Every structure is written in C-alpha cells, then in structure tokens.
Amino acid sequence: MNTARYVVAIVMLVGVSYAVPYWLIIHPFVDFWRRLGLKLAYSLLTLISILLGVGAYLLKDRILVTEFGTSMPLIVLAGVLYAVAIVIQLQCRKHLKFRILAGVPELQPSSAGGRLLHQGIYARIRHPRYVSFMFGVSAVALFTNYLAMYLLVVISAAALYLVVLLEEKELRNRFGDEYVQYCERVPRFFPHVSSR
C-alpha cells in the first residue's frame, strides 16, 4: 500500500504541476497565444507543460518527504470523493468536445470560438470541471496522505480560483451580455439548493 500511495502521489504531483499552470499561462496572455496561431501556441504550451512536469518529477524526493502513513478511513473517504469527481466529469463530458477541453476556443485567432455552454450540469454550476478536479485532487491527497499533497490541494484551489476569474473575463469578452446573464442565473461552484 505504501508503494501505491507513493506512485499515486508522484503521478498527481507531475500532473497538477503542468495542468494548473497550463491554464494560468493561457488566460492572462490569450491575445499573445492567438497571435501565434494554434500550432505554434500548442507547441510552446506543450513544451512548457513537459518542462514543468519533468521539473516536478525531478524534485519529487524533496517534495514528498512528510507522509502520515496508510489510513483506511481516509482511503474510504478518498474513494467517495473520487466517485463524486467522476460523476461530475461524466456530466461535463456530455457537453464537451476535445477541442474545448484542449482550450481551442481560447486560442483561436478569431476569438470567436464556439457557443456558450448552459445545458446539463452547466445549467447548475458554471465551472463543473474545476469542481470535479478539486474533488479528485482532494481524494488523491487523502489516499496518499502526504503533507505535500494536502498543500497541493490548497495551492490548486487558489490557482484555479484565479484561473476562473481570468476565464470568466475572457468569456465575458467573447459572449458579452449572454455570459453576464448566465452568471446571474448560475453560480460558479455550488448549485443552488432547490426546494424541490
């Protein structure tokens, strides 16, 4: 079990170290990436992502120093959180094509990418993918029980909140009043509790 926890911690460390910065690199500089065009932008973004992932892997022994051992109650809770993450992600995938997942609408030089999603789970919360991601990262932190993984949850939450603010600014620019009205109806992360 210790080896499994360690391997999962490494995979999450490497994955998060390039996934979250990817969006932090795109949104503030969207005009720059659009001017480069899709091929060059993706080439540079892929290179940056690989370098961040390799860097995290090389530093893994320094980062994954403090661990608290195997805890079956935490593993069970991790399983529940991970199941919630999967359910949310499956609901998202009903409405997302790969090009949206990869950020193509953000990087299209025309900046007129796609249509506003407001069906299914997107009618209940605006950013279900990030909610799912946080459930998943939290599940991994509980399963691995490493101090660094708990810190990664906090850092990811702060970074994703910043990504959301930047993304919403870009979406307001792209969709205008339609997005403003959508924001008024639909909360960011937590669905309204219905009396039904």
Tell me which DSSP letter residue 176 carries.
T
Each residue's pLDDT tens digit in the chain (196 positions)?
Answer: 788 999 999 999 888 887 777 778 887 887 788 888 878 888 888 898 889 889 999 999 999 999 999 899 999 999 999 999 999 999 888 877 776 766 676 776 555 556 777 888 888 999 999 999 999 999 999 999 999 999 999 999 999 899 899 888 888 888 889 889 999 999 999 887 764 4
Is residue 193 assigned to a domain?
Answer: no
Is-contact 85 133, C-beta < 8 A? yes
Q: Are 126 and 175 in contact (CB under 8 A)?
A: no
Residue 84 sits in a domain of what CATH number?
1.20.120.1630
Cα–Cα distance between 29 and 5 in angstroms, integer?
Answer: 36
Two tokens at 132? 């799912």
User: Angle, nearest 10°, between helix axes 128-144 and 147-175?
Assistant: 170
Residue type, 69: G
In a domain, 191, yes or no: no
Is 96 part of a structural domain of the chain? yes
Number of domains forming the structure of the chain? 1
> Does residue 108 form part of some domain?
yes
On whether the CB atoms of residues 116 and 179 are closer than 8 A, the answer is: yes
Residue 196 lies in a domain: no
pLDDT at 32: 85
Place of tokens 């990030």: 130
Q: Are 19 and 26 in contact (CB under 8 A)?
A: no
- Please check whether residue 194 lies inside any domain of the structure: no
Burial class (CB in 10 A: 0-12, 13-18, 19+), 196: exposed
- Cα–Cα dist 98/108, whole Å: 14
The predicted structure's pLDDT at residue 9: 93
Per the domain annotation, does 9 fall within a domain? yes
Domain that holds residue 139: 2-185
Question: Is pTM, for the whole model, over 0.85?
Answer: no
Q: Is residue 66 part of a domain?
A: yes
What is the pLDDT at residue 20?
77
**How many Å apart are CA 102 and CA 184, to the nearest integer?**
27
Asked if residue 34 lies in contact with residue 108, where contact means CB atoms within 8 angstroms, the answer is: yes
